[in-house]
Amino acid sequence: MKKVKIILVTLLITFSFSIKSNSKTVPTSFADLAERLMPSVVNISTTTTVITNTNPFPGFKFPPGSPFEDMFKEFGTPQKRQSSALGSGFIIDEKGIVITNNHVIQDAEDIVVRVDGDKEYKATIIGQDPLSDIAVLKIESKEKFTPVKFGNSDKARIGDWVIAIGNPFGLGGTVTSGIISARNRSIGLSRYEDYIQTDASINSGNSGGPLFNMNGDVIGINTAILGQSGSIGIGFSIPSNSAEKVIDQLIEFGETKRGWLGVRIQVVTKEIADVEKLDKPRGALVASVAKKSPSDKAGIKSGDIILEFNGTKINEMKELPMIVAQTKVGKTVDVKIWRNKKEITKKIKLGRLETSEDFNEKKKKTETKKLENLEIKSLKITVRLLNKKDIEERKLPNQTTGLVITKIDENSPVNYLKIGDIIVEAQKKKIKSKNDLEKIVEAALKSSQKTILIVIYNNQNQKRYIGVKLD
């Protein structure tokens, strides 16, 4: 009986110690941490002049000498009004270097930074980057300020405690807490997305503010929320490791200098991986290559799958743009690609994105003209032949041939395509007629694979590779 009591006591002590040990990871209060960090977080207010025309008949002019000419003259005079916006930021240098979101200060004429609750200072823009939504400001003062430092966002784990400090709805000095809910989120805001998701309350006015770990290091810049009505426990922050690289360039050059390959890429689906005999869906599929781009000069072709860039494996398509952008302009790197069911390596000297034609390219949508419709029963779609007018209007390569989709049945194996999409290739063969496509489909249906690889131009005139499952 004594032995049983001893065992029970031992278990209770062990259990009690375990609880105490684990409880150390759960903060009893954020007060000390918040008090230490508050002087480094700033409230930002901006002013912009907006010009509006009050004329109820814009573009209309009365004849000279008309009795209505003077009456409506005042209405035609452009009116100026002041528009203001609020946001947050944080100090990273005692000289008054402030980090915020670009959308907080975009087009601002006057920027006022409020430090430690009530001290107001004018601020100027050192550099801004719309692509990453990051801006760097300088407080116009010779005072010394209290900075915070960046932490390693790669070490942040799902479930870690975080706090956000900012200026939601103009209520400066607001502290909220939560955990990291997810990593590597893409929400469709930009081409460079690797957001930290948090349930710490973030609202309008929190933009540009810091997301801190429990050491008081900045691991994210609060940027966006899900929904328009306010916080619902899903907010997004730019990881500090990504932000720092942009910030360093903005401070040094006043602008960014991103690496550029000159390719448009898409996801490697299971169907595409199967057709290409790739072990699993991975890498980034090259949909098109810009003329005279670094990739074009290196011999990269549409249909190649980029597996590795400068020694870093590409597991998902979205990883490649970020890695390329963070690589020094002019650097020659090894790029491993998958072509003709084997791996080969190309050396590519990176260009600069900001000076490339690709960076400023504008897409134009065109209407599809109705011509002779042809039914392809095996795919349950209706198409017409691509013509010269299509090529001119959509600015396609002169030698392009293909079929324009005019109708798609609900149960079609390509029901995810859209009317106006152009099928230009199938199984790496050019499509010049309805029969060309039908023969390829019929051959695939008779085979064991029953999957084909087609190439289309979508409605935005982007070249896309698609794996089509026929059974």
- Residue 274 has φ and ψ, to the nearest 5°, of -65, -45
| Cβ neighbours, 10 Å, residue 234 | 17
Give the integer Cα–Cα distance in Å for 275 and 254. 46
| C-alpha distances out from residue 322 to 131, 197, 211, 295, Å | 11, 18, 21, 17
**Listed residue (217, 219, 181, 182) closest to 199, CA to CA:** 181
Give the integer Cα–Cα distance in Å for 374 and 43. 62
Hey, CA dihedral for 340, 356, 393, 268, is it positive or negative? positive
Give the integer Cα–Cα distance in Å for 169 and 438. 60
Selecting among 207, 237, 240, 288, the annotated active-site residue is 207
Selecting among 103, 129, 199, 288, the annotated active-site residue is 103
Give the integer Cα–Cα distance in Å for 265 and 305. 9
Question: Tokens in use for 126?
Answer: 């050192």
Selecting among 40, 88, 129, 133, the annotated active-site residue is 133
- Residue 130 has φ and ψ, to the nearest 5°, of -60, -30
- Catalytic residue check, 133: yes
- Catalytic residue check, 93: no
In the numeric block, the tokens 């694979």 are attached to 449
Question: Tokens in use for 343?
Answer: 């791996």
- Catalytic residue check, 18: no
Which of left, alpha, beta for 395 (phi over 0: left; psi -120 to 50: alpha)?
A: left
Give the integer Cα–Cα distance in Å for 33 and 27. 10
Question: Tokens in use for 168?
Answer: 């939601």
| C-alpha distances out from residue 21 to 7, 158, 469, Å | 21, 20, 54
- Residue 276 has φ and ψ, to the nearest 5°, of -85, 5
Whether 114 and 40 have beta carbons less than 8 Å apart is answered as no
Amino acid occupying residue 363: K
DSSP string spanning 173-201? SEEEEEEEEEEEE--SS-SS--EEEE-S-
First and final CA of the chain: distance in angstroms? 70
| C-alpha distances out from residue 358 to 33, 245, 354, Å | 46, 22, 9
| Paired sense of beta strands 451-457 and 429-430, if any | unpaired
Q: Which residues are catalytic?
A: 103, 133, 207
